[in-house]
Amino acid sequence: MTAGMGRSQNRVRSRAIGALAVAASWSVVFAGVAQPAAAADVQSKQWYLGAMQAEEMWKTSTGEGIKVAVIDTGVNPNTPSLKGQVLKGFDATGAPGDENDDYAGHGTDMAELIAGTGAGGGVKGLAPGAKIIPMRISDTEFQNENSVKAGDSEDAIEAAIESDAQIISMSFGSDFTSDRERAAVKSAHKKGKIFFAAVGNNAKEGNREQYPAAYPEVVGVASADRNGKVAKYSQNGGIVDIAAPGQEIPGWCNKSFQSYCDGDGGTSSATAIASASAALVWSANPDWTANQVLNVLFDTAGRDWEKGTLSKYLGHGLIRPAMNILKGKGDPGDPDISPLTEERTNGSPASPAPSTPSASASQQPTRNEKADEAVAAGDGRAASDDGAPVSLILGGIAVVAVLGGVVFAVVRRRGSA
Active site residue ranges: 72, 106, 268
211 φ/ψ angles, rounded to the nearest 5 degrees:
-115, 135
Q: Which residues on adjacent β-strands are paired with residue 383?
A: 303, 389
- Spatial separation of the C-alpha atoms in residues 122 and 104, rounded to whole Å: 18
251-252 and 242-245 beta bridge pairing: unpaired
403-404 and 242-245 beta bridge pairing: unpaired
- Give helix 290-299 / helix 266-284 axis angle, nearest 10°: 110
Q: Which residues on adjacent β-strands are paired with residue 71?
A: 135, 170
* Torsion on CA atoms 131, 128, 239, 357, rounded to nearest 10: 120
Residue 160 · residue 135 · CB < 8 Å: yes
Residue 214 · residue 208 · CB < 8 Å: no
User: Quick count: other Cβ atoms within 10 Å of Cβ 182?
Assistant: 16
Among 200, 183, 196, 172, CA closest to 104: 172
Taking the CA of residue 360 as centre, how many other CA atoms within 13 Å lie in the half-sphere pointing to its CB? Answer: 17
